[in-house]
Amino acid sequence: MGLPEAREARLPGAREAPLPGRLLAADPARLPFVEVDVLVVGSGVAGLSTALALPPDRSVLLATKGTLGEGATRYAQGGIAAVTPAGRAPDDSAGSHLDDTLAAGAGLCDPVAVRVLVEEADAAVAHLRRLGVRFDQEGAGLLARTLEGGHSRPRILHAGGDATGAEIERALVAAARDAGVRVAEHAFLVDLVTGADGAVGGAVLAEGGALSLVRAGAVVLASGGAGQLWTDTTNPALSTGDGLAAALRRWLSAWPLPAPTISGSTPAPCRPSGWSGASRPSSPAAGRPGSSRPGTRSRCRRPPTT
């Protein structure tokens, strides 16, 4: 693989020293390597779903900083908003779900993306059930529904009460193991590696203090958010923005960081150290799982309820 020299990147409008193109000075071309078709970084619902969706004839490596099943997904207490025949109010529809979501988003939603979300929600829930997710039931063959903030109809599906994320994670981990997905645990994403044309061709991982290169035809960053940059967060300790940082060092496409997403029961986070922009919570978007945990305290002001 032809590797370019590490380039320097500068934040827009910043006067400080430029960012290096790589976190470490080690030359990736000199590292021991493996080759796969697809490298997936992150083992939450996004990373596991990606690995499971790939054709069986593709070689896949799923790299996770912790252990398989660790991460933010299992802490999601809220349910999944979906208009599905298995759990639909008589007068509900995807159109109503669309209207509720756009209204709750207060101008922050992409209408095209929201339409995809609500129209494909039924198929997504059915897929999760095929993978073994056990949603709460309400009678024979019907899924229990609840009415929650931002929704005009009861369409929120839960699993294990407030353990929806944990149940989804359990099912996806089991499915990945059954499918024989290759997993590298305790593998920290150090740097993305690009070829002479600028296209990503792999990544440098740190495992047990040793560096290695993964050459890949495609790299999927599903490494989660950066909640630990804030002084108060309900995100787990692993949410340190490694994928965002790796992308930032290469292309700056991840800057600025988006405003943190706030659920109705989660305190507003403080702005991170050195943050110059406004830390403005977004409006509660219909269909987003909650992220709060019991006993979490914050020194920051709570957002107004809607």
Mean pLDDT of 201-219: 93
Q: Are residues 111 and 139 in the same domain?
A: yes
Q: Examine the pLDDT at 108 and tell me if it is beyond 70.
A: yes
How many domains does one find in the chain? 2
Which CATH number do you get for residue 88?
3.50.50.60
Mean pLDDT of 205-232: 91
Q: Examine the pLDDT at 105 and tell me if it is beyond 60.
A: yes
Mean pLDDT of 126-130: 95
Q: Are residues 107 and 197 in the same domain?
A: no
Quick check: is 134 in a domain?
Answer: yes
Q: Are residues 248 and 170 in the same domain?
A: no
Interatomic CA distance for residues 48 and 41, integer angstroms: 10
Q: Are residues 142 and 236 in the same domain?
A: no
Quick check: is 152 in a domain?
Answer: yes
- Sequence letter at residue 159: A
Mean pLDDT of 215-221: 95
Mean pLDDT of 113-139: 94
Q: Are residues 198 and 168 in the same domain?
A: no
Q: Are residues 131 and 79 in the same domain?
A: yes
- Contact present, 69 and 173 (Cβ < 8 Å): yes
Q: Are residues 200 and 146 in the same domain?
A: no
Quick check: is 283 in a domain?
Answer: no
Q: Are residues 108 and 197 in the same domain?
A: no
Q: How far is the CA of 270 from the CAs of 46, 183, 232, 262, 293, in angstroms?
A: 26, 35, 6, 12, 17
Quick check: is 115 in a domain?
Answer: yes
The pTM is what? 0.76
Owner of token pair 């809607």: 306
Domain of 232 in residue numbering reads as 188-206+224-259
Q: Are residues 167 and 241 in the same domain?
A: no
Q: Examine the pLDDT at 6 and tell me if it is beyond 80.
A: no
Quick check: is 305 in a domain?
Answer: no
Q: How confident is the model at residue 19 (pLDDT cuts 50, 70, 90)?
A: low
Q: Are residues 110 and 196 in the same domain?
A: no
* pLDDT in the model for residue 225: 85
Residue-wise pLDDT for 272-306, tens only, equals 444 433 333 333 333 333 333 333 333 333 333 33
Q: Are residues 244 and 166 in the same domain?
A: no
- Sequence letter at residue 169: E
Quick check: is 153 in a domain?
Answer: yes
Mean pLDDT of 27-34: 86
Quick check: is 265 in a domain?
Answer: no
Owner of token pair 């020299």: 5
The candidate with the shortest Cα–Cα distance to 200, out of 192, 190, 188, is 192
- Contact present, 84 and 141 (Cβ < 8 Å): no
Mean pLDDT of 29-40: 92
* pLDDT in the model for residue 270: 44
Mean pLDDT of 253-272: 52
Quick check: is 182 in a domain?
Answer: no
